[in-house]
Amino acid sequence: MKYIKKNQKIPTLLLEHLDFIKNNNLSIDFESLGGDAKKEIQESLLEEQAYLCAYCMQRITNEIDKKITIEHFLSQQLHPKKALDYSNMIGVCKGGTHPQLHCDKTQNGKVDGNVILNKLNPLDKNCEKLIDYTKNGLILSKINDEDVEQDINDYLNLNVKSLQEMRETALNTIWELFKKKYEDKKNWTKKIFDDEIQNLKTSKNGKFKPFVNFLIWFFEQKKEKYK
């Protein structure tokens, strides 16, 4: 999970729709939004999140195979007044396929609109501090917090095998590139790892690498072994 800093500017068509609802004394209803307005929201969310799913950090786009979904962090069912609140909207992935569903599609999780995550919230700048990883791609609570573990494994299912394997593959790929770039291990220094970390923290063409915080975690661990 990566912290999302929301844009202060509300997408234009959403703002127009909110004005129309107010002026005509209509009920707040997300489904009443037109396709163009939803597309504009999707584009804004992709830009905010550097094309990563708010929960699992895999790549999302406007393309069919990686299509972004607009998710309400506080569900429309439990918080109907926030259904058109842009600050409550995040972009997520398609959520996998049965039985390996994850993110907002997890059974017994957010999918039915009755679950509120205990502590993990990508809109909270402290969310990254709650998470730790293992080298084989598992996500853990950094301080063995049961609430965080429930969010990870029950409500979001972020350790489902398909996601774990994708994280592992992403790590193996970047690690092999690193070793080719710096073939002589005798020359490895803390600065080399710092440079790699800084590179990961810098988006390219407005996009971060998939699972970027996991990759950063790995290089931070490696860095500690060097001077």
Q: Is residue 5 part of a domain?
A: no
Quote the domain boundaries for residue 208.
12-223
Residue 1 lies in a domain: no
Q: How confident is the model at residue 212 (pLDDT cuts 50, 70, 90)?
A: very high
Give the HSE-up count for residue 102: Cα atoms under 13 Å, Cβ half-sphere: 20
CB 195 within 8 A of CB 223: no
Phi (first) and psi of residue 107, to 5 degrees:
-65, 140
What is residue 65's predicted lDDT score, i.e. its pLDDT?
A: 84
**In-domain check, residue 4:** no
Amino acid at the residue 45: L
Mean of the per-residue pLDDT values of the chain: 95
> 74 lies in a domain?
yes
- In this prediction, residues 188-208 reach a mean pLDDT of 95
Read off the tokens for 17: 């729709």
- pLDDT tens-digit map of 40-71: 999 999 999 999 999 999 999 999 889 999 99
Does residue 207 form part of some domain? yes
